[in-house]
Every structure is written in structure tokens, then in C-alpha cells.
Amino acid sequence: MKKKKKINKSGPKKLPGKYRQLLDFFRGNPRKSYNYKQITHQLGLTSNEQKDDVIKILQVMEKEEIIEAIDRGKYRYIPDYSLFTGIVEFTQRGAAFVLVDELDEDIYISKSLTGMALNGDTVTVELIRQKKGSRLEGKIIEVVDRARTQFVGTVQRMKKFAFVIPDNSRIHVDFFVSMEDMNKAKDGDKVLVDLIDWPLSTPNPYGRVAKILGKAGEHNTEMHAIVAEFGFKTEFEQNVLDDAEGFPDKISKEEIQKRKDLRDTLTITIDPVDAKDFDDAISYKKLENGNHEIGVHIADVSHYVRPNSALDDEAFDRATSVYLVDRTIPMLPERISNHLCSLKPNVDRLAFAVIFELNNNADIVNYWVGKTVIHSDRRFSYEEAQEVIEGKSKELKTEIQQLNTLAHKLRNQRYKNGAISFESDEFRFVLDDQGKPIEVIKKVRVDAHKMIEDYMLLANKTIAKHVYTKIKKVLPYRVHDSPNIEKMAFFIQTAKKFGYLIDTKSNESISATINNMVEKSEGKVEANILHPLAIRSMEKAVYTTKDTYHFGLNFSYYTHFTSPIRRYPDLIVHRLLFDYLNNKSAPKVDDIEKACKHSSQMEQKATQAERASSKYKQIEYLSEYVGEVFDGVISGVTEWGIFVELKDNHCEGMVRISDMKGDFYEFYEKDLSVVGRRTGKRLTFGDDVKIRIKKTNMNKRTADFSLILR
């Protein structure tokens, strides 16, 4: 390896600005080559003098070995010894990738070159020069910022010291803990450990036990561990609770006079049977002209949670409510979410509403946006509302069936316009008094669920379009980018295996062919394989001020307006919308964008925690069936084994290649299959298999299966 050469980053004294411009251009496109004409065109340098400057700078940069000529007059960035800053993401095997904003490609880091980085850290990475056509590789040389300094793990105690083995498989090192830092923790305890040091001379970071969560493997311990692992707060500080208690129960006459009074208009809520808060309501009135007035009323959280209050600071930090299998970690205290902002029946409540006039084709004739006061006449569960829709109950039959008829038309319009209609099966656990799963039940989505969803989507879409096209001021939008075809490759390949062709020529053709797959696979075993796989292969939806397009819904304008009790961006939307309706100026875009980014990050953490709690309950449930045989379908194939999803309950486990009997099986990456060397038997994604549950590991949240060959 040649000696690192110091690069003059400022460039020639006469041309420092253009030098930096070219340097940034090449660093942002490290794998591509350009001639001076392509560079001047992309940078907008059109004059002859500017073009001459570019040629001179290219010569200087080549001499300084910042770029290299790979063809006559064509240059490419030399990545040797170049430093970048990014976020490191580890694989379960200890290697990592560094995600750098300026680069189109992630930097691969081998296990031996990850240094003292831990998953999620911001790091400085030094690129290692690669041959043409190979991936970018690098070496982590510095940890700029720790993503976290507390970790959850299980104590493994020795005579004179102990290790804490992290729960997170992407934390690839154990923490060394001296006896004086054990804080009375015992062998087998699940603990929260602080990272206190990582000397250069040691392979393991030093830790100190901060909190004992309980014995590993026990229900409450493991659920507390999941909460601690993701850093969620479970209690509210007293000043936050005091803030929530400061509002009166009764709504003043002055406040009512400021709002559209719809207390005499029929209003209902439809929610899960065990719901504790009701943050949306639907009002209905048949108009004299034959049209329908339908109001989507959302709890007016912004009336109570004021900017810069203790309540607001806490809501911003949490950004979202978190729904684990057996508990909810709310964004707001119970006084707000379950009382003042819960649209309970037979009491007056404050709301923010979009009131639509729809004709019989469900076209919007007119709409009004503003604050209301409502009085819910009836609280329906989804099951009760469905009975009305199906004609089994006559309570408010005319109104609810009319709402459902219009909702069907809204839904059909949405799908006709290119929205994707995923309807994959979902399951929930039935828990006993101790929180132990005793049954897995399929969630059934009926018209009552879809009806409420249709009106919420209509409200979100209308608010976004209203602000974007009429008010033209900043708003947090909910954006879902167009698919990355490379990321969709595995899904497309798997869909083809089942006989479904995904046309990637345009967004419209992708949506149309996915919807065709959804429709034709309904009720078939591959539906539960392909639908989640399609969702995972798409871009993640995020909050941002920068764009409005939502690919999955095929909406040009979309925001989140309908759940300010549990989502902070919705609360921002309510505040901004009210200010705009009252001709107040818009805030700084950067401030709203920062809130969007934070909310997106917290949403992803919440999703990960919810999956972790579900996975734990799966393993806890399967632990009662060790030794029993189940039918399953292969849901994943890796070099070390196949994942199998059980048909009865959708719990998942792994059959390790090393445990496959009767043949020597080899992994084939190209078609993601394992093949027996002697028999030629091929096992791949989507194949039906029969397995026996071999063992479960509650700490690692894994289940091992053995394959029963037919």
C-alpha cells in the first residue's frame, strides 16, 4: 500500500471555488467517469473561460492523485484514503455497511475492519481502493458519535468478572464488566448496561450494569428489555402530568362560539372493541339536493398540547405511540389521550374536521376545513358496525349502509387510479392473565375497517392538496417514493416463480401488475409470502416537507392529519393548518423538516420494537409445542439455513443446513435455494414443507426446526 499523500483541498489560489465544486462532484460520483464537457454541462459552467478553468483544475487534480485518467480525456475519482462520514449498519455476522449521504453506494466493511464501531454509530470511514466493477470497501478509523451508550443483554458471570451478552444480534461484541460495576446483578439476569470505555488494547468494551430488568426468559423481563433496548420512556415526568391536568373538563361557551357547532348532527365512532381512546369520528347528514354531508372529525389535540409546553416537548421527543403485543407506550398522558381528546359518546368534544359534500358517485362536490364541536351519538365496535352493514342489526342502518356504499366507491376509484391493494393476513395473540400467549387468531378485515380507512385517507389527501395547491405553505407530508427496481429484484423473481409477472416499465405498470398478483393470489398460500415481500422491497414511507407523492396510494398529495393523539406529525399539521386558515405566517421550513426527520426515525424504532415484541411472543408460543409437527412454507433462504413460516399460526423459525439429514445440502445464491448434493432435491422460497419444532431460545428470540423430508 502506497504512502498516504496529503491532498491540497483548497486547490489553486485563483480557482478555490471551482476546485471545491469539482472535488465535491467527483466525491459524490466516485464510481463514474467524466470528460470535461460532461462536467461543465452538469455543473452549469457554460462560458469558455469557465471551461478552460475546469480543464486546468482537472490537470491539477490528476497530478495530486485525486482523480485518474481512465481513458483519453476521461477522469474518475480515486477513492484511496478518502474519508467519508456516515452511519454504520452491522450484519448479524459482524461485517458492516456504512451509509454515506454523498455516495450512491454503501461502503462495505469487513468484520476485521470495523474498529470500535457499534451498530448505528456515526463513523469516519477510509476507502480502500477497489478494482473496476467491484463494490466500495473501507475501514472504520473513528467513531464520531455513538448512536447509544446503553444496551440490553444477559449477564454471564465468571469468578472475577462478567460479560453482558447483548440481545441485539447486530451488536457483535460482549461487554466486559468488573465485579465492582455489577450493581448486584447475578448470572442469568437481563440488564441494562452502560458503555463506559473501550480501550484500544482490548477487544471488548467496558460496561457498567445500570439496571437489573429481571431474570432472562421471564415474560415481564423480556418485554421490559424490548422497551429498554429501543430507549422508549414508559413514564411521564411530573411536570408533563401537571400540564395535562391543568385543563378543565368542561368546554367553555367562548370556545364553542369559535367553532362550527355540529352537536346536533348524527356522529358516531367505530373502533376496536378493546379501544380506550377514540380519536376520530364520522358525522352524516343527507342533504336536500340528494348529496351527502360526511364529516371526518379528528380530536383537537392541538387545543390542549400547546407549542413549547411540557406536554409538547414530551410529545415531540416520543413522536409516536408504540404498540407492543401486551402494552401500549403512549405519546401523550392518559388525561389527554383517554379523556379530553377521546371522542366518547354522549359528551361534547373539540375536533378539527374536514366536512365533505359527496354526490352519489362519491365525487367531492365541496368541502370545508375547520374546527368543530361534536357530540358522538354512538360508539360502535368494528364488529357491531359490520353487523349493521350486513343487515344483521337495524341500528342506524340507513346511515351506516350509505356511508359504506360511498366508501366502496371511494375505494374502487383509488384502485382504478393505481393504488396498491394489499390485503395480507395479520394475526394477533390471545394472552392469559400472566401475559403468556395461549392462542393465535387471524385478524379479519371487514367492510367496517375498510370504510373508516377510506374516509381517513380521503381527509388526509384533501388536507395535503388544500395546503399544497391553495395555501402553498410548508407542511409535513407523508411521502412514499417510487420503487427502486434493484431493490425489487428478489420480489420480482419470487413472484415469477409463482406465475406472476411484475411489469417495471412505469409506476403505473408496477401498481397494476402487483394488484393483479394480489387479486389472483387471494386465499392461496403464496399470498402470505408475496404480499409482505412486496412491501419490504419498496421504499419506506417518511415524513418530509420536500415532496408529496405517495406511490403506494398513488396520491399526488398526502399527509397525516387523522391521528394527532399518537403521531406528532399529525399534531404539527393541525397547528399549521389552523394558523394558515387564520392567515398567520408559515414557520421556517428547516424547523419542520427537522421534526419530520426525527418523527420518521422514531416511527422506524417503534416498528422495530413492535416486531421484536411480536417475535418474542411467537417464540414463547412455540416453546409449548417443542417436538410437535407442523406444515409450513419456506419464507427465506440463506447460506446457513431456510426460514419456515408455519401455516397454522404464521410463527417463523429456521431449519439449519447443518441439521438437514439424509444428504449434504448446499446453498445456491443465484436462485436462493439449497440443493442436496446426492439426491438433487431443491428447496427454495415458497415451497411447502413439514417440520418438527426442535428447540426455542427465548433470549435470542429464535426457534430451530428440523425438516421432515417426504
Mean pLDDT in residue range 554-582: 96
pLDDT above 90 (res 668): no
Residue 130 pLDDT: 59
Residue 280, beta-bridge partner list: 298
Please count the other Cβ atoms lying within 10 Å of the Cβ belonging to residue 160.
Answer: 7
- Class of domain 16-77 as given by CATH: mainly alpha
CA distance 655 to 663: 14
Q: What is the mean pLDDT of the chain?
A: 90
Q: Tell which wins on pLDDT, 117 or 127.
A: 117
Residue 80 pLDDT: 54
CATH code of the domain occupying 150-216: 2.40.50.700
Residue 4: band (very low, low, confident or very high) from pLDDT cuts 50, 70, 90: very low
Residue 128 pLDDT: 78
Which region among 16-20, 330-334, 428-432 has the lowest average model confidence (pLDDT)? 16-20
Close Cβ partners of 199 (under 8 Å, ≥ 6 residues apart): 206
Whether domain 83-145 has CATH 2.40.50.140: the reply is yes
Residues 465/369, Cβ–Cβ less than 8 Å: no
Residue 11: band (very low, low, confident or very high) from pLDDT cuts 50, 70, 90: very low
Mean pLDDT in residue range 158-179: 93
Which region among 53-62, 621-630, 687-696 has the lowest average model confidence (pLDDT)? 53-62
Residue 692: band (very low, low, confident or very high) from pLDDT cuts 50, 70, 90: very high
Residue 77 pLDDT: 80
pLDDT tens digits, one per residue of 517-538: 988 887 777 777 788 888 888 8
Residue 425: band (very low, low, confident or very high) from pLDDT cuts 50, 70, 90: low
Residue 72: band (very low, low, confident or very high) from pLDDT cuts 50, 70, 90: confident
Which region among 13-27, 180-194, 323-337, 649-663 has the lowest average model confidence (pLDDT)? 13-27
Percentage of the chain with pLDDT > 70?
95
Residues 219/435, Cβ–Cβ less than 8 Å: yes
Mean pLDDT in residue range 375-400: 97
CA distance 230 to 542: 19
Reading the block at residue 123, the C-alpha cell is 463513523
Residues 516/530, Cβ–Cβ less than 8 Å: no
Which region among 237-246, 336-345, 635-644 has the lowest average model confidence (pLDDT)? 635-644
Residue 161 pLDDT: 95
Q: Tell which wins on pLDDT, 378 or 546.
A: 378
626-708 has which fold?
A: OB fold (Dihydrolipoamide Acetyltransferase, E2P) (2.40.50)
CA distance 683 to 644: 11
Close Cβ partners of 286 (under 8 Å, ≥ 6 residues apart): 292, 293, 402
pLDDT above 60 (res 74): yes
Please count the other Cβ atoms lying within 10 Å of the Cβ belonging to residue 662.
Answer: 11
Residue 132 pLDDT: 55
pLDDT above 60 (res 342): yes
HSE-up of residue 9 (Cα within 13 Å, Cβ side): 5
Intrachain domains 16-77 and 626-708 with the same fold: no
Mean pLDDT in residue range 389-404: 97
In 397-498, beta strands by DSSP E: 426-431, 437-443, 477-479
Q: Tell which wins on pLDDT, 53 or 694.
A: 694
CA geometry: angle 122, 318, 425, nearest 5 deg: 95
Residues 396/288, Cβ–Cβ less than 8 Å: no
Which region among 39-48, 296-305, 315-324, 633-642 has the lowest average model confidence (pLDDT)? 39-48
Residue 453 pLDDT: 96
Phi, psi (5° rounding) for residue 131? -70, 155
Distances 27 to 23, 67, 391, 465 between C-alpha atoms, Å:
6, 10, 65, 38
Residues 401/447, Cβ–Cβ less than 8 Å: no
Q: What Rg value do the Cα atoms of the chain yield, rounded?
A: 29
Residue 2 pLDDT: 34
Q: Which of 196, 190, 191, 188 is nearest to 211 (CA)?
A: 191
Question: How deeply is 710 buried, as exposed, middle or buried, from its count of CB atoms within 10 A (0-12, 13-18, 19+)?
Answer: exposed
Residue 268 pLDDT: 98
Residue 173 pLDDT: 94
Residue 445 pLDDT: 87
Q: Which of 132, 124, 172 is nearest to 30 (CA)?
A: 132
Reading the block at residue 262, the C-alpha cell is 355540529
CA distance 26 to 30: 6
Mean pLDDT in residue range 531-556: 88
Residue type, 613: S
pLDDT tens digits, one per residue of 599-650: 999 999 999 999 999 999 999 999 999 999 999 999 888 888 999 999 888 8
Residue 589 pLDDT: 95
Domain-by-domain residue ranges, the chain?
16-77, 83-145, 150-216, 238-408, 447-609, 626-708
Residue 710: band (very low, low, confident or very high) from pLDDT cuts 50, 70, 90: low
Please count the other Cβ atoms lying within 10 Å of the Cβ belonging to residue 500.
Answer: 18
CA distance 27 to 19: 12
pLDDT above 60 (res 167): yes
Phi, psi (5° rounding) for residue 455? -75, -35
Residue 10 pLDDT: 41
